[in-house]
Structure 1
């Protein structure tokens, strides 16, 4: 397991490393990002209250940033899913053996954006679903990609969409994103919330996460919104 966590939190120490990585292949990566087809199976927009989607795909900073810029999203919280409450801390999860994945809880208005649309964005710009137990420079089971479903409808939409993308050969390798029941979501520490907006010049953010938001704006202009006026997460 490769651990880049120190580099993520201390940008000056990471500047030389990430500058070298950026010189290697950012253009090739950008060219591979395309808008995937919308799910053929989706939820009806009949709810009168906010719904919740919990997704994991690498460092939660970037996933949070993407969904904070989606119209209809009301709040995004960085956190942990897949493990026990007493191991839901950044240091514990960083060991890669707690069962947790860095995740985000997306609270959204289903009359403005559907669950299927969120999955379309997720698979199109937020991650590479063919990478097993890693995303970009981050490696370990805590960086695996997971759709944590909250009910049978979400499970069906996620399963059917992955099958749809597989049949369409949308990627050059098999999709390894898991579809698992959501047992619990534990918010991450306060300093991880809204990290993209608070630390835009962090080299990790500049190289790994800013392109995701740019891809969202380019590929999904009809749902891109900046700045978002979200309910802020208050943690201590």
Structure 2
């Protein structure tokens, strides 16, 4: 397992050397999902579970997104017995560092969440790694909870690949969610609570800024 001081430096260097396969993406490069849900006619709650590398980073991106009510860091893909950070970090549990997003489907669609997932939150073309964070626990995966989510996810991946938005094919897995296990309390809202951590400054913060610059209309307005 990497401790926190070991974790930030190689990952930060990896991010600087490879942003979406060496390509600096622009908002115009990302089409709207051709297959998506219609916005609900009244407020409600829906969930999405996504894995895209370190959950500190993916959590930080989606926490500021308009229509998102809550983001929880945790583990998906393995068992309850091994859903512990020090064990998951070995890469031998089947878990992926994941986030559980609770959102209002009258404000944001599942497809819009996936658009941010692919364009801002992580690189979906690197197998079992993000930057220098290496191992299956850092894999790109969408854990769907119903057939509609599966259909939207698979269709959008096919759409992005057909449009050659990335230089390399998307390797994101699309699998049914069995269970989501909430991570230890110190991982929750980590980027906000640990502003001076070099990993946050060098890896997480640039992704948050990327969302603000690429899709300012998707950022929640401050009250």
In 2, distance between residues paired with 1:134 and 1:20? Answer: 13
In 2, distance between residues paired with 1:142 and 1:27? Answer: 20
In 2, distance between residues paired with 1:19 and 1:172? Answer: 21
Listed one character per residue, the Cα deviations across residues 82-136 of structure 1 (whole Å, up to 9, x for unaligned) are 0001110001101101100000000000000110000000000001100000001
Runs (5+) with no aligned partner, structure 2: none
Q: What is the Cα-based RMSD across aligned positions, in Å?
A: 2.4
Tell me by how many angstroms 1:23 deviates. Answer: 11
In 2, distance between residues paired with 1:142 and 1:124? Answer: 20
Residues 156 and 225 of structure 1, relative CA distance in 2, 3 Å threshold: same
Listed one character per residue, the Cα deviations across residues 141-169 of structure 1 (whole Å, up to 9, x for unaligned) are 00000000010000000000000001000
Runs (5+) with no aligned partner, structure 1: 230-236
The residue correspondences of 1:27-38 to structure 2 (distance < 5 A) are 32-35=24-27, 36-38=30-32
1:200 is the counterpart of 2:192:
no
Residues 216 and 90 of structure 1, relative CA distance in 2, 3 Å threshold: same
Q: In structure 2, the residue corresponding to 1:186 is in which secondary structure?
A: strand
Tell me by how many angstroms 1:67 deviates. Answer: 0.2
The residue correspondences of 1:184-199 to structure 2 (distance < 5 A) are 184-199=179-194
In 2, distance between residues paired with 1:162 and 1:30? Answer: 19
Using structure 1 for the length normalisation, give the TM-score.
0.86
Tell me by how many angstroms 1:14 deviates. Answer: 6.7
Using structure 2 for the length normalisation, give the TM-score.
0.91
Q: In structure 2, the residue corresponding to 1:32 is in which secondary structure?
A: coil
In 2, distance between residues paired with 1:20 and 1:130? Answer: 18
Alignment size in residue pairs: 220
Partner of 1:53: 48
1:132 is the counterpart of 2:124:
no
Partner of 1:232: none
